[in-house]
Amino acid sequence: MSASRTAHVILPPPEMEHTPANCRAREMLVRVADKWSMYVIHVLADAGTLRFSELRRRVDGVSQRMLTVTLRGLERDGLVTRRIYPEVPPRVEYELTPLGSTLRDIVHELIEWSGAHLTEVDEARARYDAQLHDPKFVSA
Amino acid sequence: MSASRTAHVILPPPEMEHTPANCRAREMLVRVADKWSMYVIHVLADAGTLRFSELRRRVDGVSQRMLTVTLRGLERDGLVTRRIYPEVPPRVEYELTPLGSTLRDIVHELIEWSGAHLTEVDEARARYDAQLHDPKFVSA
């Protein structure tokens, strides 16, 4: 702690200080830490190149608008490439960039984790929900 | 492919079929693939045990309501424990459960990735934004 700071000031830990790099890392996590972005990266990592309609079928539950917004964000961040073939109707294909491919393992790990811990999470939810209906439960 | 399926039917890849386990894995990814859940896991993994106010200071930019909602979700899923000490005012502390701790490395990797690739993403965004203002750019 520097001499100019008084002892009673509670300082944030160094990694949480508002350096530009920290703020940017947070902002980037916004893009990646998003369910649909993760699914799109996961699906493209497995499939290679896909057209919009194929991608939409595989990213189950995504709306057309949400997939469009997600792909634009991933493209802007340099994680996904969009290639337009001048056919009639135009063919548009998406694939991961080399940068996007570096997320492959992390995203797969997270999806694997989700699959591996289903039962534990189910049990935890059942316990939590039972407790909510227990008159001894005090909310804080 | 089973004999009862005709060849022209485009089948989803096996990992995308609607088995209950797949649907549940998707649902769970919703909880974890969320910026604030990841920050809370990241901060608790480093700090151990924290009170709400300490957690809020470290999870920079989170609102009181969003932090409350995030913590309830993580608690319900068995990833975070909330301990209430009957003092005046009551002290409430949060920490990762053993299950929550298994996410530590994945979340750290994602945050490290974000920090490591800031420059590449910045450059990609600048290129994308410049292209949007280029009259030759055709949106599809």
Cβ-proximal residues to A108 (8 Å cutoff; 6+ apart), any chain: A42, A45
Higher pLDDT: B68 or B14? It is B68
Confidence of residue A8 (pLDDT cuts 50, 70, 90): very low
Does the CB of B60 have a partner CB in chain A at under 8 Å? Answer: yes
User: What pLDDT was estimated at residue B38?
Assistant: 87
Cβ neighbors of A115 (< 8 A, separation 6 or more) are B21, B25
pLDDT of residue B115: 80
In chain A, residues 78-137 whose CB comes closer than 8 Å to chain B = 78-79, 82, 84, 90, 92, 99, 102-103, 106, 109-111, 113-115, 117-118, 120-125, 127-129
For residue A107, what is the enclosing H or E element? Answer: helix A104-116
Instruction: Return the pLDDT at B2.
Output: 41
pTM: 0.72
In this predicted structure, the answer to whether residue A109 has a pLDDT above a threshold of 80 is: yes
Nearest residue of chain A to residue B16 (CA atoms): A58
pLDDT value of position B135: 65
**Better pLDDT: B15 or B63:** B63
DSSP for A49-75, please give it: SEEHHHHHHHSTT--HHHHHHHHHHHH
For residue B40, what are its two tokens?
């809370």
Return the residue in A34, A44, A46, A121 with the most chain B beta carbons within 10 A, the one to mutate for interface testing. A121
Tens of pLDDT, residues A9-56: 344 444 445 555 556 556 666 566 777 888 899 999 999 999 999 999
What DSSP string describes chain B?
--TTS-TTS-PPPGGGS--HHHHHHHHHHHHHSBHHHHHHHHHHHHHSSEEHHHHHHHSTT--HHHHHHHHHHHHHTTSEEEEEE--SSPEEEEEE-HHHHTTHHHHHHHHHHHHHTHHHHHHHHHHHHHHHT-TT----
Q: Do β-strands B91-96 and B50-51 pair in parallel, antiparallel, or remain unpaired?
A: antiparallel
For tokens 């996590």, name the residue. A29
Inter-residue contact B41 to B7 (CB < 8 Å)? no
Would you call B66 an interface residue with chain A, using a CB distance cutoff of 8 Å?
A: no
Residue B26: the pLDDT is 62
Chain A, window 30-49: residues with a beta carbon less than 8 angstroms from a chain B beta carbon? 30, 32-35, 38-39, 46-47
| pLDDT computed for residue B30 by the predictor | 57
Distance of CA A29 to the CA centre of its chain: 7
- Strand pairing report for B91-96 and B80-85: antiparallel
Q: What is the pLDDT of residue A19?
A: 55
Q: How far apart are CA A134 and CA A45, in angstroms?
A: 46
Whether the CB-CB separation of B11 and B5 falls below 8 Å is answered with: yes
- Output the pLDDT for position B7: 35
Side-chain-facing half-sphere of B86: CA atoms under 13 Å: 1
Residue A1 CB neighbour total at 10 angstroms: 8
Q: Residue A10: what pLDDT? A: 41
Q: Is the pLDDT of residue A135 over 70?
A: no
pLDDT tens digits for range B26-68: 666 656 677 788 889 999 999 999 999 999 998 888 899 999 9
